[in-house]
Chains A and B, each alone.
Chain A
Amino acid sequence: TQLLEQSPQFLSIQEGENLTVYCNSSSVFSSLQWYRQEPGEGPVLLVTVVTGGEVKKLKRLTFQFGDARKDSSLHITAAQPGDTGLYLCAGRQGAQKLVFGQGTRLTINP
């Protein structure tokens, strides 16, 4: 059983469209992170959210942590081909352990 469920698993949209990716769990996490992974490389951290209800913005990307700290969303405005990649959410358990979702594979078509 996957502790963190991401949806959708695959998403292919046209350049300029908006999109939202979801990360859901029945467990509470002390913090939640979003990573982006490109082919042949390891994941790279985009953001960490810590407080329930927290919203963080990174240019065209908006991240939100659920009030109960069990879920999170990533919204991309006016998607660009450079946004293409695998987006992973990871919940922190205990002091250091991260539990990753299955990922959302995003393709932005020019």
Chain B
Amino acid sequence: DAGVIQSPRHEVTEMGQEVTLRCKPISGHNSLFWYRQTMMRGLELLIYFNNNVPIDDSGMPEDRFSAKMPNASFSTLKIQPSEPRDSAVYFCASSLKAGTAAYEQYFGPGTRLTVT
């Protein structure tokens, strides 16, 4: 079975350019999460969606970041304009909407973004 799919796996871009990261959640999952991981700050939740609707975007660092989920099988995280401090690994995760205390998030392989 296919897990969470992210593309691209690696992205190198110059400061000021627009960057779009893509995610396909596991089929049947109705919650989707975007995280950012750095050595300094660890794994941070940026935003999450339930049934394609953004629920909590309090982790989005600033207006340069935006996320969309036009349908149940696709989401994008866009950074415009990008800055060197945005360099990190960005993870997408999906889950069934929590019904029990033991629900699980399934993570994709991540996109390593380098902004020069």
Contacts and interface: CB of A to CB of B under 8 A. Distances in A.
Interface of A: 2, 30-31, 33, 40-45, 48, 50, 88, 92, 95-103
Contacts of A98: 45, 105
Q: How large is the interface on B (under 10, 10 to 19, 20 to 34, 35 or more residues)?
A: 20 to 34
A42 B45 contact: no
B21 interface: no
Given A41-B110, A42-B4, A42-B110, A97 B45 contact: yes
Contacts of B18: none
Contacts, number: 53
If over half of B's interface residues share one DSSP class (helix, strand or loop), that class is named, otherwise mixed; here it is strand
Nearest to B59: A97
B25 interface: no
A26 to B, nearest CB: 17
Nearest to A30: B101
B45 A48 contact: no
Contacts of A95: 98
A53 B43 CA distance: 26
Contacts of B50: 96
A31 B43 contact: no
A30 to B, nearest CB: 6
